[in-house]
Structure 1
Amino acid sequence: MSAVRLVVFDVDGTLVDSQADILGAMAAAFGAMGLAMPEKRAVLNIVGLSLDHAMPRLAPDLPFDAHAELVHRYKEAYAGLRARGRIEETSPLYPGAREILDLLSREDDLLLGIATGKSRRGLDVLLQAHGLGLHFVTQQVADHHPSKPHPSMLLSALAETGVDPHDAVMVGDTSYDMEMARAAGLRAVGVRWGYHAGPALAAADVLIDRWADFPRALDRLQEVA
Structure 2
Amino acid sequence: MTWKLGNEIKAVLFDKDGTLIDFDKTWAEINRKGALIAADGDAALADILLVECGMDLSTGKTRADSMFAAANASEIAAHMVAHGSPFEPEELMRRLDQTFVEGAESPWPICDLKALMQTLAGSGLSLGIASSDGEASIRRTVEVLELSSEIDFIAGYDSGYGPKPEPGMLLAFAAHLGLEPSQIAMVGDNGHDMEMARAAAAGAAIGVLSGTGTRQTLKALADVLIGSVADLPALVAAR
**Normalising TM by the smaller chain, what interval?**
0.7 to 0.9
Amino acid at match of 2:213: H
* Pairwise CA distance, 1:59: 4.8
* Pairwise CA distance, 1:116: 0.8
1:156 partner SS = helix
Indicate whether 1:200 and 2:217 are aligned: yes
Cα distance between partner residues in 2 of 1:58 and 1:130: 31
Cα distance between partner residues in 2 of 1:133 and 1:21: 26
- Larger deviation, residues 192-201 vs 30-39: 30-39
Cα distance between partner residues in 2 of 1:198 and 1:54: 25
Cα distance between partner residues in 1 of 2:146 and 2:112: 15
Indicate whether 1:123 and 2:141 are aligned: no
Cα distance between partner residues in 1 of 2:132 and 2:223: 22
Return 5+ residue gaps in structure 2 as ranges.
Answer: 1-5, 56-61
1:11 aligned residue (4, 11, 16): 16
- Report if the CA contact (8 A) 1:53-1:147 is conserved: no
Amino acid at match of 1:77: T
Amino acid at match of 1:39: V
Cross-structure match for 2:229: 211
Q: How many residues align?
A: 214
Cα distance between partner residues in 2 of 1:41 and 1:115: 21
Cα distance between partner residues in 1 of 2:121 and 2:33: 32
Cα distance between partner residues in 2 of 1:98 and 1:41: 32
Cross-structure match for 1:111: 126
Cα distance between partner residues in 1 of 2:125 and 2:17: 22
1:24-66 residue CA offsets vs partner (Å, 9 max, x unmatched) = 4423432436432322871542233221123334553459963
**1:96/1:130 Cα in 2 relative to 1: closer, same or farther (>3 Å)?**
closer
Cα distance between partner residues in 2 of 1:22 and 1:3: 40
Cα distance between partner residues in 2 of 1:210 and 1:99: 14
- Report if the CA contact (8 A) 1:192-1:207 is conserved: yes
Cα distance between partner residues in 2 of 1:198 and 1:22: 26
Residue correspondence of structure 1 range 1-225 to structure 2 within 5 A: 2-17=7-22, 18-20=26-28, 22-32=30-40, 34=42, 35-37=45-47, 38-39=50-51, 42-43=54-55, 44=62, 45-46=66-67, 47-61=69-83, 66-79=88-101, 81=102, 87-88=105-106, 91-107=107-123, 109-143=124-158, 144-186=160-202, 187-202=204-219, 203-218=221-236
Structure with the bigger percentage of helix:
1
- TM-score, reference length from structure 2: 0.78
Cα distance between partner residues in 2 of 1:21 and 1:100: 27
- Larger deviation, residues 209-218 vs 196-205: 209-218
